[in-house]
Amino acid sequence: MHRNLTNSIRTIMDEWIPPAVRDSKWFMYPFFWYWYKGDKTTIRAYMDFKTRVWSMTTEEYVHLYSVLRKNSRAASRPTDLNDACINTMLERLDRTATTLIDIGCGNGFFLKQVAKLGKYELHACDVMPHVDVGEGIHYHQGLIESLPFPDNAFDIVTCHHTIEHITNLAPAIQELKRIARKQLIIVTPRQRYYYYTLDEHVNFFQMQGQLEAIIGVETHECLNLDGDWLYIGTMK
């Protein structure tokens, strides 16, 4: 499903359905069954995700995202980004920059869009040992909480639909800020907390001020675009 459609469905479910019903295991089970294609092992893993994730090893975490998530319908869509976020980011990229890295790059969809501009040296980083992110894009394996790069390593750092999945949020944000020299761009859902969600999230950013305080770049914009926050910080 396209991100714009899933955001619309999420808004209806999270805002219109009474919380006691919306966060019931029995109400949500058919949605999990559909989203994870009826695979009972995967359904159990993700229905209990918010309890299990806090004690997972790095290997278990990588397995969850690299193996089990292949049974998710999300695996078949090209990107988690909605159209408004993609277009706004491409318009707002710092044109004086020469290097850009996407942390939590997934399949490299956004980097391929940036590559069409023909302006930046592009890098990608994710937890998987190797990902084919596209010709001419340099891939690095790494954890967001301890990125394998020196300070101010890249002019632009982007991070899309990743911080909502991170159990150690504070060090992850600090790492993104540490390696960004000119611009930090983060996209994350504008979402109310529920235990049973189809998206493996552990952090929820319903309020703009909450997200702004957590990221903490003094000069920034925070835009609400079709159900997702787009945060653009200018580094000093």
When pLDDT is averaged across residues 158-182 and rounded to a whole number, the result is: 96
Out of 48-62, 65-79, 207-221, pick the least confident: 65-79
Of 196, 193, 202, nearest to 53 by C-alpha is 202
CB of 105 within 8 A of CB of 111? yes
Average pLDDT over residues 81-91: 96
* Pairing verdict, β 228-234 and 219-225: antiparallel
Give the tokens for residue 66: 């690299």
**Mind giving me the DSSP string for 178-190?**
HHEEEEEEEEEE-
Q: What is the mean pLDDT of residues 217-229?
A: 96
Query: Which residues make up the CATH 3.40.50.150 domain(s) of the chain?
Result: 83-234
Asked if residues 221 and 184 have their Cβ atoms less than 8 Å apart, the reply is no
Q: Which residue has the higher pLDDT, 156 or 61?
A: 156
Q: What is the pLDDT of residue 68?
A: 65
d(CA 141, CA 147) in angstroms, rounded, equals: 9
Question: For residues 85 and 227, what is the distance between their CA atoms, to the nearest angstrom?
Answer: 10
Q: Count helices and strands (H / E) in the chain.
A: 10, 7
Question: Which pLDDT belongs to residue 131?
Answer: 82
Q: What is the pLDDT of residues 123-159, one digit of tens each?
A: 999 988 888 888 899 999 999 999 999 999 999 999 9
pLDDT number for residue 128: 82
* Nearest in space to 231 (alpha carbons), one of 181, 177, 179, 192: 177
- Which band of pLDDT confidence, cut at 50, 70 and 90, is reported for residue 78? confident
Contact by Cβ (8 Å): 92, 232: yes
Strand order, beta sheet including 138-141: 138-141, 121-126, 99-103, 154-160, 180-189, 228-234, 219-225
Per-residue confidence (pLDDT) for residue 226, from 0 to 100: 92
| Mean pLDDT computed over 212-225 | 97
Q: What is the rounded average pLDDT for all residues in the chain? A: 92
Is the pLDDT score of 1 beyond 70? no
> 13 and 49 in contact (C-beta within 8 Å)?
no
Architecture of domain 83-234: 3-Layer(aba) Sandwich (3.40)
- Tracing tokens 């469905």 back to the chain, one arrives at 9
Residue 38, pLDDT above cutoff 70? yes
User: What are the residues facing 168 on neighbouring strands?
Assistant: none
- Amino acid, single-letter form, for residue 149: F
